[in-house]
């Protein structure tokens, strides 16, 4: 059962753009999606730079006197998509560069902003992009149009945390918004990412507190139905969403993508946290973990936490040859991916959508489809585990 959460009203300025294009573009695929089908809704996007005056960064190199919380919001919108009006992909990377202080970027910072993406593709996905290719990807229109009018109805909300900058989860968030969700996300400050290894409990409590403020301040929008809520965590924030659910009980379902709670070191971090209580986790849980093997013992797969969630319907996947960079690096945006890679993304995206549709929206057809075996000839699961929750006595 959800515990009450105080929602504060936030001024949300929306601008309606007049766009000329065919409605059919809204129900097909967008340029960076590699053919993955969109839902029926066009996608709007908005950013709110929230200054948390109750905290300041502990990083001595920071010259801001507030704790920055960059809030990104994707939502079903009321317009017709066109490439001319859509936000180019590179703007997500500009926002990533601004997350620590909200300052205006220099020309040099903008020029280098997408280097992090080429690093992920080169070292994680073994895809080397030329400078020209990187520029072309950056200039490619996304599914989202900034500051456009939302659909005048309420939609379930997905509260998301991502390890690092906003760029990591953008395609999945656009995809979910096109299928009738409001996705509200915030990422780690750079210093919080560094803090995890040397002081994990401080880093986790910082993130949990950010989620509390984030939710209190940012979810009282007229187009959000906060009675239907999902949580989504990527990489380090897989730990955060689990602990946040144990503390607040706010969500109807929780998804973790390559979350650290599924690694040896993350298992230790989570189980030592003061909020860790598996008996308080009584909603469905879905996880995707990387297939890569590693000699580094702290990063090896650990299924202990998933197995301890006795009162949760659990879905756990390891997709063959689908590693950390594919799961957390938004590499679906690389043009002309191999069909097998796109199929893996399609499976993950649609499984997450069906999971939220079934457990957040209450869609029985989506839930029945989720429970079916979906292995085909294109790829195999290293692990495809579905565990029913135990009976709750009394």
Residue in 169, 48, 61, 44 with CA at minimum distance from that of residue 98: 48
**Dist. CA 62–CA 60, nearest whole Å:** 5
Mean pLDDT estimate for the chain = 87
Q: Pairing relation of β-strands 67-76 and 43-52? A: antiparallel
Residue 391 pLDDT > 80, yes or no? no
Q: What is the mean pLDDT of residues 355-372?
A: 93
Instruction: Lowest mean pLDDT of 83-92, 224-233, 382-391, name the range.
Output: 382-391
Residue 1 pLDDT > 50, yes or no? no
- Model-level pTM? 0.90
Residue 15 pLDDT > 80, yes or no? no
pLDDT recorded at residue 155? 96
Calculate what percentage of the chain has a pLDDT beyond 70.
89
Strand order in the sheet with 314-319: 144-146, 43-52, 67-76, 182-187, 155-162, 224-234, 253-257, 285-289, 314-319, 381-387
Instruction: Give per-residue pLDDT as tens, 54-102.
Output: 888 876 567 888 989 999 999 999 999 999 999 999 999 999 999 999 9
DSSP label of 197: H
Instruction: Lowest mean pLDDT of 2-6, 146-150, 346-350, name the range.
Output: 2-6
pLDDT recorded at residue 374? 64
**Dist. CA 251–CA 5, nearest whole Å:** 11
pLDDT recorded at residue 188? 86
Instruction: Give per-residue pLDDT as tens, 185-224.
Output: 998 888 888 888 889 999 999 999 999 988 887 667 889 9
**CA neighbours within 13 Å on the CB side: how many for 240?**
31
Residue 307 pLDDT > 60, yes or no? yes
Residue 173 pLDDT > 90, yes or no? yes
For the chain, list the domains and their CATH numbers: 23-387 (3.40.50.1820)
Residue 22 pLDDT > 80, yes or no? no
**Dist. CA 329–CA 66, nearest whole Å:** 29
Residue 269 pLDDT > 90, yes or no? yes
Could you tell me which residues come within 8 angstroms of residue 288 by beta carbon, excluding any fewer than 6 positions away? 256, 257, 258, 317, 318, 319, 327, 348
Instruction: Lowest mean pLDDT of 9-13, 49-53, 161-165, 344-348, name the range.
Output: 9-13
**Dist. CA 177–CA 42, nearest whole Å:** 8
Residue 47 pLDDT > 50, yes or no? yes
pLDDT recorded at residue 394? 36
């Amino acid at each position: 059962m959800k515990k009450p959460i105080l929602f504060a009203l936030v001024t949300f300025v929306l601008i309606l753009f007049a766009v000329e294009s065919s409605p059919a573009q809204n129900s097909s695929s967008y340029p960076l999606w590699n053919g993955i089908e969109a839902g029926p809704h066009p996608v709007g996007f908005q950013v709110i730079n929230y200054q948390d005056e109750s905290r300041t960064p502990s990083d001595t190199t920071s010259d801001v006197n507030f704790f920055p919380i960059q809030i990104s919001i994707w939502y079903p919108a009321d317009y017709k998509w066109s490439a001319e009006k859509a936000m180019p992909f590179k703007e997500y990377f500009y926002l990533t560069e601004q997350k620590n202080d909200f300052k205006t970027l220099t020309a040099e910072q903008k020029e280098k902003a997408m280097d992090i993406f080429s690093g992920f593709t080169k070292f994680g996905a073994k895809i080397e992009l030329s400078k020209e290719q990187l520029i072309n990807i950056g200039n490619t229109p996304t599914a989202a149009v900034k500051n456009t009018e939302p659909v005048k109805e309420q939609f379930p909300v997905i509260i998301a945390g991502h390890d690092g900058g906003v760029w990591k989860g953008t395609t999945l968030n656009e995809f979910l918004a096109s299928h009738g969700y409001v996705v509200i996300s915030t990422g780690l400050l750079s210093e919080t990412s560094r803090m995890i290894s040397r002081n994990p409990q401080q880093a986790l409590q910082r993130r949990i507190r950010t989620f509390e403020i984030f939710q209190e301040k940012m979810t009282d929008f007229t187009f959000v139905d906060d009675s239907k809520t999902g949580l989504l965590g990527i990489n380090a924030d897989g730990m955060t969403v689990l602990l946040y659910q144990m503390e607040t009980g706010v969500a109807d379902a929780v998804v973790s993508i390559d979350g650290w709670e599924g690694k040896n070191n993350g298992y230790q971090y989570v189980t030592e946290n003061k909020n860790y209580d598996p008996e308080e986790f009584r909603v469905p849980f879905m996880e995707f973990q990387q297939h890569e093997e590693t000699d580094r013992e702290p990063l090896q797969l650990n299924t202990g936490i998933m197995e301890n969630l006795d009162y949760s319907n659990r879905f756990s996947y390891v997709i063959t040859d689908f590693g950390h960079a594919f799961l957390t690096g938004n590499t679906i945006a690389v043009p002309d991916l191999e069909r097998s890679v796109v199929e893996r993304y399609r499976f993950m995206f649609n499984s997450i959508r069906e999971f939220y549709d079934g457990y957040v929206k209450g869609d029985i057809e989506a839930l029945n489809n989720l429970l079916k075996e979906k292995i085909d000839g294109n790829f195999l699961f290293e692990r495809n585990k579905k565990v029913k929750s135990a009976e709750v006595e009394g």
